[in-house]
Amino acid sequence: MGREAQQLPLALYLHFPWCVRKCPYCDFNSHPLRGEVPEAEYVEALLRDLDFELQNDSRFPIPDSRPLVSIFMGGGTPSLFSDRAIGRLLEAVSRRLDFARDIEITLEANPGTAEAGHFAGYRAAGVNRLSMGIQSLDDAQLRRLGRIHDRAEALRAYDLARRAGFDNVNLDLMYALPEQAVAGALADLNEVIALQPEHISWYQLTLEPNTEFGLHPPPVPDGDSAWTMQEQGQARLAAAGYVQYEVSAYARGSRQSRHNRNYWEFGDYLGIGAGAHAKRSSGMPLTVTRRARHKHPRTYLQHAGSDAVLQERRVVAAAELPFEFLMNALRLREGFSCADFAARTGRDWDERIPGLAVARARGLLDEAGGRVCASALGWRHLNGLLTLFLDAGVLSNPEMSLKGGSE
């Protein structure tokens, strides 16, 4: 691995593909559970898959010498797995990879009461950040969204997380829900702010293709109402001390999501589990490789640990790297440094980047002191800004996993 790639942070994403019930808006790789969670079998599969990822590609040394800066367990519903299984998994990962001294270890949890009892065990196992998808505190909206919890269970789960010792909690909340008025969206947000989580992921409901809501769209607020929700909500978050550091991410103090920042800053990450994606960089000139696992749990369990687990692998064309970087980094309010752009793409910032001249001419970028970010106008029209950097002759499909949403 070249010196440049060695300098990139390395994170680990672990995907848990099962959920109790598929929500009508969800387009993540999640599968309704039938019967018991095969947790012992799946943990073993994850570890075989991790060994394969670390040992099967001659371009990368064995083992990867970079310490993990973060681990994110997403899904699906990772909290369907017992604290004992999560503890065994994390302990086994620590034998294979070094952990940074201040590693961030996040677990996504469903607020349903059945999983909340595990919180103390997760904390004892080494999980130090909890991300809970409450989505709303309005029972009528929760029913429309197909959630398995209600308002009371969400509040109880949050209380149990605090009692279990979690001092770094993210709450997911959506707005522009079916038939939601501006007042209802802001009431939801005010209640979440009052709980004082360290991090809030606040984002608009989108009707994704190939989901129930995509096939049978519910009546959602019009664009003007959604914009009003966004503007007034952002003002309330700012007044409460939450800094918007990414499109839908708000944090107090230093509690930005380290794992998701690594995605947005175009760092490297191992992706283990059904449907997980990995990105790794090597050499000089820079080579970026992406790999994706089979999505279906049964297929994944059958092939984990062998080359057959991969559904896709590709070396990203050098011409695609600037767009892939910008598609992520411009989501950050602070943008990026030109030095990081060069280290992660192998290109200088002014080196004939497609779309750059047009973006500058339209006043969509702020550039000063070796840093680049979207201007106020560019931030308001971020999708339009990003498309300027997609060269018509280049077919790109950057992975925006983030449970992610990231969260």
CATH number of 3-261, picked from 3.30.750.80, 3.60.15.10, 3.10.580.10, 3.80.30.20: 3.80.30.20
pLDDT tens-digit series, residues 266-294: 999 999 999 999 999 887 778 899 999 99
Question: Which pTM does this prediction carry?
Answer: 0.93
Domain ranges of the chain: 3-261, 326-388
CB 274 within 8 A of CB 294: yes
257 exposed, middle or buried (CB, 10 Å; 0-12, 13-18, 19+)? buried
Residues of the chain with pLDDT under 70: 1-6, 56-64, 113-116, 391-407
287 torsion bin: left (phi>0), alpha (psi -120 to 50), beta (else): beta
Angstrom distance (rounded) from CA 206 to CA 218? 11
For residue 151, give the H/E element and its range: helix 151-163
What are the tokens at 252?
A: 């107090």
Sign of CA pseudo-dihedral 129, 130, 133, 135 = negative
Angstrom distance (rounded) from CA 200 to CA 265? 20
Angstrom distance (rounded) from CA 32 to CA 22? 6
Angstrom distance (rounded) from CA 114 to CA 358? 53
For residue 214, give the H/E element and its range: helix 212-215
**Residue 387: which residues within 8 A CB-CB, separation 6 or more?**
355
pLDDT of residue 285: 76
pLDDT of residue 392: 34
Which of 206, 194, 204, 193 minimizes the C-alpha distance to 250? 193
Radius of gyration of the chain (CA): 21
pLDDT tens-digit series, residues 248-257: 999 999 999 9
